Structure 1
Amino acid sequence: MQRICVIGGSRYFGKLLVERLRTAGHQVTVINRGSASPPTGVEHLLVDRNDEAALMAVLDARTFDVVVDQVCYTPVQAAIAARVFAGRVRRYVMTSTIEVYDPATATLPALPAGTHVPEESVDPAIWQVAIDLPWHDDAYLEAHYAEGKRQAEAVFTQASRFAFATVRSAHVLGGGAQEFTGRLAHYAGRITQGEEITVHAQALPTVFIHYEELADLLAWAAAADFTGPVNACSDGSLGVHDLAEIIAAQAGREAVYRTVPAGDAASPFSFDRHYAMSNTRAKALGFPFSRATDWLPVAVAEALAMSVAPTD
C-alpha cells in the first residue's frame, strides 16, 4: 500500500485513476475545488491549488509516497506545487500532453518525415521557463496551452526536490458522455446527419489512447521508479479520414468531406503537421499498450449512441 495524492481526479480518466488506486488498496487523497466528490474511502481535501498558503494549510502534516498531478497547466502552478510538496513526497507524476510536440507552437529538433516523435524532442531539463508571462489570464492560457505544459514540466524537472516523471498523453477517447471534449461525438453527429467534415488537403496521422488505458498507465507510472517524460499512446496511428471512415462504417452512412484552404482550421484530429508520438520508451519500461483499432469500435459505438436523438 502507498499513500497517493491525486490533484484533480474529479472527471474522466482522473476519476477512473482514483478508483483504480483505491481498488488496488492504496491510501488515496484527492485535492480539488470540490466539483465532484471522490469515491467512498478516499480522503477529500477542498482547496484551490493556485492558493499556496491555503494548499500548505490544508495539507497540514500530511506526507505521501506519490503525487499524481492531473491539472497542472502552467509553470506558476508547478512552482507552487514544487515548493509545497518539497519534503512531503518521494515521487511526483504530472499528466502532460502530446501538444508539447506541436511544431506550430514551438521550434523543435527536425526529424525525418513521418517519424513518430520521441520524448527527447522536448527536454524539460533545458526548456526555458518564463514565470512572469500572464499565465493567470484564461485567454492567454488557452492560446498557450502547449507552452504552459512544457514550462510546467521544466519547473518540476529543474527545481523540484523529489523524483519527477511526466506522462505525455495522446488524444484521449472513449467513455461516451464522459469524454467531455466531445471530439468523437462531433464526428458521430456530423456523419449520422450527413454534414460535412472539414479536413486539410494533406491530413496527417496522429495517435490516440483509450481513457481506461491512460488511467492504467498513470497508476503504473505512480508505482514505477523511472523519471523524465514518457509518451502514452496506443499502438497504431490514424488520420482524420481513417477515423471518419470507421465511424461511417459503423453508422451505415458515408462521410462527407470538405477541404479547407491551407492555414485554416479544420475538424478535430485533422492536422496539417506531423507530431504523432512514439511509445517505445514506455514499452521498454514495461507498459503493454493495446492497438487503437482494438478499442476504437467500442468508443465509436458509444459516441454513435449519444448522437441518436431520443424519441417519445
Structure 2
Amino acid sequence: MQKICVIGGSRYFGKLLVKRLQAAGHQVTVINRGSTPSPAGVEHLVVDRNDEAALTAALDSRTFDVVVDQVCYTPVQAAIAARAFAGRTRRYVMTSTMEVYDPATAALPAVPAGTPVPEELVDPATWPVAMDLPWHDDAYLEAHYAEGKRQAEAVFTRAGGFEFASVRSAHVVGGGAQEFTGRLAHYAERIADGGAITVHTKALPTVFIHYEELADLLLWATTADFTGPVNACSDGLLDVYGLAAIIATQAGREPVYRTVPAGEEASPFSFDRHYAMSNARARELGFSFSRTTDWLPGTVAEALTTEPSPTT
C-alpha cells in the first residue's frame, strides 16, 4: 500500500484513477476545490492549488509516496506545487499532453509525416520558462495551452526534491456522457444526421487513447520508477477519414465531407501538421497498449447513444 495524493481527480479519467488506486489498496488523498465529493474512503482536502499558503496549510504534516497532478497547466502552478510538496513526496507524476509536440505552437525540430514523435523532441530539462507571462488570464491560457504544459514540465523537472515524470496523453475519448470535450460526440452526431464535417484535403494522422487505458497507465506510473516524459497513446495512427469511416459504419451512414486547404480551420481531429506520438518508451518500460481500432468501434457506438455535446 502506498499513500497517494491526486490533485484534481473529480472527473473523467482522473475520477476513474482514484477508483483504480482505491481498488489496488492504496491510501488516497484528493485535493481540489470541492465541486464534486470524493468517493467513500478517500481523504478530501478542499483547497485552491493556486493559493500556495492555503495549499501548504491544508497539507499540514502530511507526506505521500506519490503525487499525481491532473490539473497543472502553467509554470506558475508547477512552481507552487513544487515548493508545497518538496520533502512531502518521493515521486511526482504530472498529466501532460501530446499538444506539447504541436509545431504550430512552438519552434520544434521537423519530424517527417508518418514518423511517430518521440519524447526527446521536447526536452523539459532545457525548455525555457517565463513565469511573468499572463498565465492567470483564462483567455491567454486557453490560447497557450501547449506552452503552459511545456513550461510546467520544465519547472518540475528542474525543481528537485522528488522524482518527476510526465505522462503526455494522446486525444482521450470514451466514456459517453463523461467525455467532457465532446469531440467524438460531435463527429457521431454530424455523421448520423448526414451533416458535413470539415476536414483538410490532406489530413495527417493522429493518435488516441481510451480514458480507461489512460487511467490504467497513470496507475502504472505511480509504481514505476521511470523519470522524464512518457507518451501515452494506443497503438495505431488514424487520420480523420479513418475515424469518420469507423463512425459511419456504426451509424449506417456515409460520411459527408467539406474539405479545406492546409492552414484553414477544420473539425477537431483533422490536422494539417504532423505530431502523432510514439509510445515506444512506455512499451519498453513495461506498459502494454491496446490497438485503437480494437476499442474505437465500441466507443463510437456508445457515443451514438449519448446525448450530443454542444461542441461544433
| Cα separation, 2, equivalents of 1:162 and 1:18 | 22
- Aligned residues with identical type, % of pairs: 81
* Correspondences of 1:1-312 after superposition (within 5 Å): 1-306=1-306
- 8 Å CA contact retained: 1:65, 1:91: yes
| Cα separation, 2, equivalents of 1:58 and 1:168 | 29
**Displacement of 1:307 after TM fit?**
5.2
Residue identity in the other structure for 1:167: V
Q: Deviations over 1:163-196 (max 9, x none)?
A: 0000000000101000010000000100111111
| Cα separation, 2, equivalents of 1:296 and 1:32 | 31
| Cα separation, 2, equivalents of 1:110 and 1:307 | 40
| Cα separation, 1, equivalents of 2:131 and 2:74 | 8
Structure 1 unaligned runs (5+)?
Answer: none
Structure 2 unaligned runs (5+)?
Answer: none
TM-score, reference length from structure 1: 0.98
| Cα separation, 2, equivalents of 1:105 and 1:188 | 28
Q: Deviations over 1:120-154 (max 9, x none)?
A: 00000000000000000000000000000000000
| Cα separation, 1, equivalents of 2:113 and 2:295 | 28
TM-align CA RMSD: 0.8
| Cα separation, 2, equivalents of 1:38 and 1:17 | 12
Structure 1 segments of 4+ aligned residues over 6 angstroms from their partners: none
Residue identity in the other structure for 2:251: A
- 8 Å CA contact retained: 1:174, 1:211: yes
- 8 Å CA contact retained: 2:4, 2:64: yes
- 8 Å CA contact retained: 1:199, 1:259: yes
TM-score, reference length from structure 2: 0.98
- 8 Å CA contact retained: 1:83, 1:160: no
Shift of the 11–110 alpha-carbon distance from structure 1 to 2, 3 Å rule, reads same
SS at match of 1:129: coil
| Cα separation, 1, equivalents of 2:169 and 2:233 | 7
- 8 Å CA contact retained: 2:202, 2:262: no
| Cα separation, 1, equivalents of 2:47 and 2:258 | 46
| Cα separation, 2, equivalents of 1:227 and 1:107 | 25
| Cα separation, 2, equivalents of 1:105 and 1:161 | 30
